[in-house]
C-alpha cells in the first residue's frame, strides 16, 4: 500500500502530497509521486517497469483505474535507454537459464560448485531466493539479505561470497571462501556473473543476464502510458549524450 506523506512548503504554505509507488528494482525500492498546486512530478529512481495500468495511484480514479493523473514532469531511469537494450529478456527467462546452468553443473558431484560473481550488494534477491528454492541449497555469503537464506557454510555448492578489494589478483583463481573442499579435494568451480549491462556489450567474456532494469522499449511504453508534459533522464548511458536520449 503506498504511503502518503503531507508536506507543507515553508515559503509558500503549499501542501505537497508524496506517494510512494513500487519501482520493482529490488524489494522496498520506490518511485516518488509529488502532487501540489504547481503540478505533479514523478521521480522513478532505478526502475524495473511493471504494468503501469495496474498502478492505481497513478490514476485519478483508483477504484476503476480510469484516467492517468496529469503529470507535469517525470524524471525517468534511462540506464538502459540505448538501442542495444531495446529488448531485455524477462526476469523469469533469466532465472530459468541460470537455474538450468547451475543444475547441470552441481549435479555432477559434491565438488562441483557455482560462484555468483555479484558486483552490487542488492538487487539479486529474486535470483537468490529462487535458486535456493529450486536447488534446496543455501547460498554462501557474509552479507545476509533479508529476503534470502544465506549461510557462511562453505560446503554449500552455491556461493555469492565476495573477495576483499585487496585480493583482486585471486579472483580468477578461486572463490572467496577457498579453492578446496573441507576434506582437501580441489573444487570444480564455474563463475557466473549476473549482469544486465553485459547483455548490451555482447563481449566474448561469458556473463548471464539478470534483469535489474527496464529495456528502452519498456521505458518508452511506460512514458507513452503516463504521457508527461516534460521528460528528464536520470542517467546518460555510456558513450551517449542528452541529445541521443532525446532522439530516442
pLDDT digits (tens, 9 = 90+) for 33-83: 998 888 999 998 877 766 777 788 888 877 767 788 999 999 988 877 776
Mean pLDDT of 139-149: 62
Which parts of the chain are beta strand (E)?
4-8, 15-22, 30-36, 39-43, 59-61, 66-68, 73-76, 112-116, 139-140, 150-151, 158-159, 188-192, 194-195, 208-209, 230-233
Contact 59, 216 (CB under 8 A): no
CA distances in angstroms from 22 to 46, 50, 88, 133, listed in the order given: 11, 9, 20, 25
Mean pLDDT of 4-28: 76
d(CA 155, CA 137): 10
Predicted local confidence at residue 73, as pLDDT:
94
Map 48-70 to HEC letters. CCCCHHHCHHHEEECCCCEEECC
d(CA 171, CA 190): 12
Which parts of 181-239 are beta strand (E)?
188-192, 194-195, 208-209, 230-233
Which residues have C-beta within 8 Å of that of residue 71, sequence separation ≥ 6?
40, 41, 42, 226, 227, 228, 229
pLDDT digits (tens, 9 = 90+) for 181-216: 878 888 888 888 887 766 555 554 445 555 555 667
Predicted local confidence at residue 204, as pLDDT:
46
Comparison of pLDDT for 92 and 72, the residue scoring more: 72
Domain spans in the chain, listed from the N-terminal domain onward: 4-86+213-247, 91-209
Of all residues in the chain, the percent with pLDDT exceeding 70 is 74
DSSP structure class, residue 117: -
Predicted TM-score (pTM) of this structure? 0.67
The phi and psi torsions of 182 (rounded to 5 degrees) equal: -55, -25
Predicted local confidence at residue 169, as pLDDT:
43
**The pLDDT of residue 4 is above 70:** no
Predicted local confidence at residue 71, as pLDDT:
93
CATH architecture of 91-209: 3-Layer(aba) Sandwich (3.40)
C-alpha cell at 230: 516534460
Predicted local confidence at residue 206, as pLDDT:
46
pLDDT digits (tens, 9 = 90+) for 217-242: 778 888 888 899 999 988 776 667 77
**The pLDDT of residue 164 is above 70:** no
Find, among 35, 23, 21, 19, the residue nearest to 71 by Cα.
35
| The dihedral formed by the CA atoms of 189, 190, 191 and 195, expressed in degrees to the nearest 10 | -150
Q: Does domain 4-86+213-247 have CATH number 3.60.15.10?
A: yes
Predicted local confidence at residue 118, as pLDDT:
81
pLDDT digits (tens, 9 = 90+) for 93-133: 888 988 999 999 999 999 998 888 887 777 788 888 888 88
**The pLDDT of residue 19 is above 80:** yes
**Is the torsion defined by CA of 218, 220, 226, 232 positive or negative?**
positive
Contact 159, 177 (CB under 8 A): yes
The phi and psi torsions of 220 (rounded to 5 degrees) equal: -60, -40
The model's confidence at residue 144, banded by pLDDT at 50, 70 and 90, is low
Which residues have C-beta within 8 Å of that of residue 55, sequence separation ≥ 6?
21, 22
Amino acid at each position: 500500500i503506498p504511503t502518503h506523506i503531507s508536506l507543507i512548503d515553508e515559503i509558500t504554505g503549499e501542501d505537497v502530497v508524496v506517494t510512494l509507488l513500487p519501482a520493482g528494482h529490488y524489494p522496498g525500492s520506490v518511485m516518488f509521486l509529488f502532487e501540489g498546486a504547481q503540478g505533479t512530478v514523478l521521480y522513478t529512481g532505478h526502475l524495473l517497469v511493471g504494468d503501469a495500468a495496474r498502478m492505481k495511484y497513478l490514476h485519478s480514479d483508483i477504484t476503476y483505474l480510469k484516467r492517468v493523473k496529469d503529470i507535469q514532469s517525470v524524471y525517468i531511469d534511462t540506464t538502459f535507454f540505448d538501442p542495444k537494450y531495446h529488448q531485455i529478456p524477462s526476469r523469469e527467462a533469466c532465472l530459468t537459464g541460470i537455474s538450468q546452468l547451475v543444475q547441470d553443473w552441481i549435479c555432477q558431484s559434491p565438488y562441483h560448485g557455482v560462484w555468483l560473481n555479484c558486483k552490487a550488494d542488492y538487487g539479486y534477491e529474486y535470483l537468490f531466493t529462487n535458486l535456493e528454492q529450486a536447488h534446496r541449497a543455501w547460498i554462501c555469503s557474509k552479507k545476509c539479505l533479508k529476503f534470502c537464506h544465506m549461510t557462511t557454510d562453505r560446503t554449500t555448492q552455491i556461493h555469492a561470497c565476495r573477495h576483499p578489494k585487496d585480493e583482486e589478483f585471486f579472483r580468477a583463481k578461486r572463490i572467496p571462501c577457498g579453492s578446496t573442499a573441507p576434506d582437501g579435494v580441489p573444487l570444480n568451480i564455474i563463475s557466473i556473473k549476473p549482469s544486465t549491462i553485459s547483455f548490451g556489450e555482447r563481449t566474448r567474456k561469458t556473463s548471464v543476464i539478470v534483469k535489474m532494469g527496464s529495456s528502452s522499449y519498456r521505458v518508452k511504453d511506460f512514458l507513452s502510458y503516463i504521457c508527461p508534459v516534460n521528460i528528464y533522464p536520470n542517467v546518460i548511458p555510456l558513450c551517449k549524450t542528452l541529445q541521443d536520449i532525446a532522439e530516442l
